[in-house]
Structure 1
Amino acid sequence: MGTTQLEAVQEPKYWHLKTVLNDALDSEFEVGEILPNERDLAARFGVARATLRQALEQLELEGRLQRRRGVGTTVAPPRMGVAVGPSSDVWPGAGRDAWRTIGCVEAVAPGSVAALLGTGPDETVHTIRRERVMQGQPVATELLYVPPVSVPGLSAMLSPAAHAPAVLRELHLLELEGEDRAVELGSARAEDAKQLDRLPGAPVLVVTTRYFAQGRVAAAAVATYRADTCRLTFGHSGAIEVTHHQPDSDRQAS
């Protein structure tokens, strides 16, 4: 990982540094290996630490690096494919659901979610937290918001352990008319970061799903996926292998 003259490059210094570091990750480091500290890396490449941080943040965003509590910055494994779609028109918790329910509370939904559900600013909704684990590690956490009007048969006398199953059971009695999804890049909130074993502010993919019944949005889910380990697949077949290395034949051809 030699020193590069960055001053003569027209593109932003951090972007060129990111390319140099990316090549070094392929040739000099193993998955899980800890990178040298920022001071040593900045000195090695002759750049300011602010420039180095920009490059490292971009590599984390691209899934090449992971920041781990108490460890530092490590080389990330290739992203795993996580099937998210296509829309299957089934309620959460039905069929072969990949999520595990953690708990349920009644709370006021965030403003953006309340707007999706059409609930009032102070109206409480049933909020179910779920998580998704793959290969032994948490890859996503989800909050499923269900307004009381969608589960009118729900008993007011529920134990904490029975709350989530009862909400899902009542929700499944409705005829699901359809669903839609939106995906955007975001930053991990403190609670989600703790659940996903990430640092607050780490890059995440946020998938918002609306479930329709009785001509309205009957429930909404906001799922937060680790952007450093996941690539979301929406087709019926998600078996697309993505690696960080070019095949030898491609290198020879180029």
Structure 2
Amino acid sequence: MGTTQPETVPEPKYWHLKTVLSEALDRDFAVGEVLPNERELAARFGVARATLRQALEQLELEGRLQRRRGVGTTVAPPRVGVAVGGARQGWPGEGADGWEAVDAAEALPPAAVVGLLGDAAEQPVHTVRRTRVTHGQSVAAELLYVPTDSVPGLSAIDAPAGPARARAVLRELQRLTLEGQDRSVELGSARADDAKELDRLPGAPVLVVTTRYFTAAGTAAVSVATYRADTCRLTFGDSGVEIAHEDRAAS
């Protein structure tokens, strides 16, 4: 990392320092690499530690850095991507979609999901829990709600619990003919269970992507996926809203 000091500019000094640091991250550091401590960085760039701390906090908010307890400040991995308005139509778990099945259980769906499922929500549904991991870091957690009527061929004997049962639900769901899907995305705050899953503090900003999957008979499943807001960015194109992958150079 160079030692060039930020020049005098009209913008706040920490903001200009943030730009200089961002360029240095692209040029000199690899994903997961630990940065020098604050005292060393402040000396290299000729700034006060308070100014440096403001710049580092901004880079953390933008998802460029991560502060890991017991490790220090590390370079964050590239932002994960998931299409929200794209043309691709597919069931959860089809192909290499980046998600890992964790567990499945039968329970009544939460109130927020009842309206999306319609009549199917009057009975317990299969709730499949999945996680999405990139560079060894959990970046998203999903709860997939599947009415029992959607997967009548599911055998509880063959898959009594755990990841095997979750995969069995997904496998049966994929036997159906998908007629379409719709998605919405909104900014939210991490609940206690989300925060634990994503290694965030409760109340941390998250992106909640809700997807409904349709067959000729109606709504076959509803997915509620919670993404760490610092791992995604929104782009807008002809195909709709997309949470796009952001490439970064690494040494």
Q: TM-score, normalised by structure 2?
A: 0.67
Cα separation, partners in 2 of 1:191 and 1:240, compared to 1, 3 Å:
closer
C-alpha displacement of 1:83: 4.3
Query: One-letter code of the match for 1:229?
Result: T
1:193 is displaced (CA, Å) by: 3.0
Call closer, same or farther: CA 1:151–1:205 in 2, change over 3 Å.
Answer: same
Number of the residue aligned with 1:173: 175
How many residues end up aligned between the 2 structures? 228
Q: What is the distance in 2 between the residues matched to 1:199 and 1:35? A: 23
2:196 pairs with 183, 194, 197, which one? Answer: 194
Give the residue type in structure 2 aligned to 1:199. Answer: L
Structure 1: how far apart are the matches of 2:100 and 2:248?
Answer: 29
For residues 16 and 124 of structure 2, what CA distance do their matches in structure 1 show? 48
Q: How much does 1:18 deviate? A: 4.7
Secondary structure of 1:228's counterpart equals: helix
* TM-superposed deviation, 1:103: 1.0
Offset at residue 146 of structure 1 (A): 0.7
Q: Distance in 2 between matches of 1:2 and 1:97?
A: 44
CA distance in 2, matches of 1:239, 1:126: 30
Aligned to 1:159: 160
Provide the secondary structure at the position in 2 that maps to 1:175: coil
Q: Aligned-pair distance for 1:156?
A: 5.4
Is it true that 1:69 corresponds to 2:69 in the alignment? yes
Distance apart, 1:17 and its partner CA? 4.6
Per-residue deviation, 1:22: 4.6
**Structure-to-structure mapping, 1:46-65, within 5 angstroms:** 59-65=59-65
Structure 2, gaps ≥5 residues long: none
| Residue 148 of structure 1 pairs with residue 154 of structure 2 | no
Q: Secondary structure at the match of 2:34?
A: coil
Aligned equivalent of 2:94: 94
> 1:179 Cα deviation (Å)?
0.8
Counterparts of residues 204-215 of structure 1 (less than 5 Å): 204-215=206-217
Identify if the C-alpha distance between structure 1 residues 122 and 22 changes in structure 2 by more than 3 Å, giving closer, same or farther: farther
Distance 2:117 2:36 in 1: 44
1:130·1:143 contact (CA, 8 Å) conserved in 2?
Answer: yes
Check 1:76–1:110 CA distance in 2 against 1; reply closer, same or farther (3 A cut). same
- 1:5-44 maps to which residues of 2 (within 5 A)? 17-18=14-15, 20-24=17-21, 26=23, 32-33=34-35, 36=38, 44=48
Residues 216 and 58 from structure 1, CA distance in 2 versus in 1: closer, same or farther, beyond 3 angstroms?
Answer: farther
1:229 to 224, 228, 231: 231
**Given that residues 104 and 163 in structure 1 are in contact (C-alpha distance below 8 angstroms), is that contact kept between their aligned partners in structure 2?**
yes
1:196-233 CA deviation, whole Å, 9 max, x = no partner?
33333333332211101134221011222233234478
**Does the 8 A contact of 1:146 with 1:219 survive in 2?**
yes
C-alpha separation in 1, matches of 2:188 and 2:231: 15
- 1:184 Cα deviation after fit: 2.3
Partner of 1:126: 126
Is the CA contact (8 Å cut-off) linking 1:66 and 1:228 kept in structure 2?
Answer: no
One-letter amino acid of the structure 2 residue matched with residue 82 of structure 1: G
**What stretches of structure 1 of length at least 5 have no aligned partner?**
245-254
Distance verdict in 2 for CA 1:129–1:137, change over 3 Å: same
CA 1:188–1:22 in 2, change beyond 3 Å: closer, same or farther?
Answer: farther
State the identity as a percent: 53
CA distance in 2 between counterparts of 1:202 and 1:164 reads: 28
Q: In the superposition, relative to structure 1, how do residues 20 and 196 fare at CA in structure 2: closer, same or farther (>3 Å)?
A: same
Write the distance in 2 (CA, Å) between the matches of 1:109 and 1:73. Answer: 39
What is the CA distance between 1:136 and its match in structure 2? 3.6
Instruction: Give 3-state SS (helix, strand or coil) of 2:113's partner.
Output: helix
Change (3 A) 1:56 1:93: same
- C-alpha distance after superposition, 1:64-101 (max 9, x if no partner): 33232344554535x34524362432211223433221
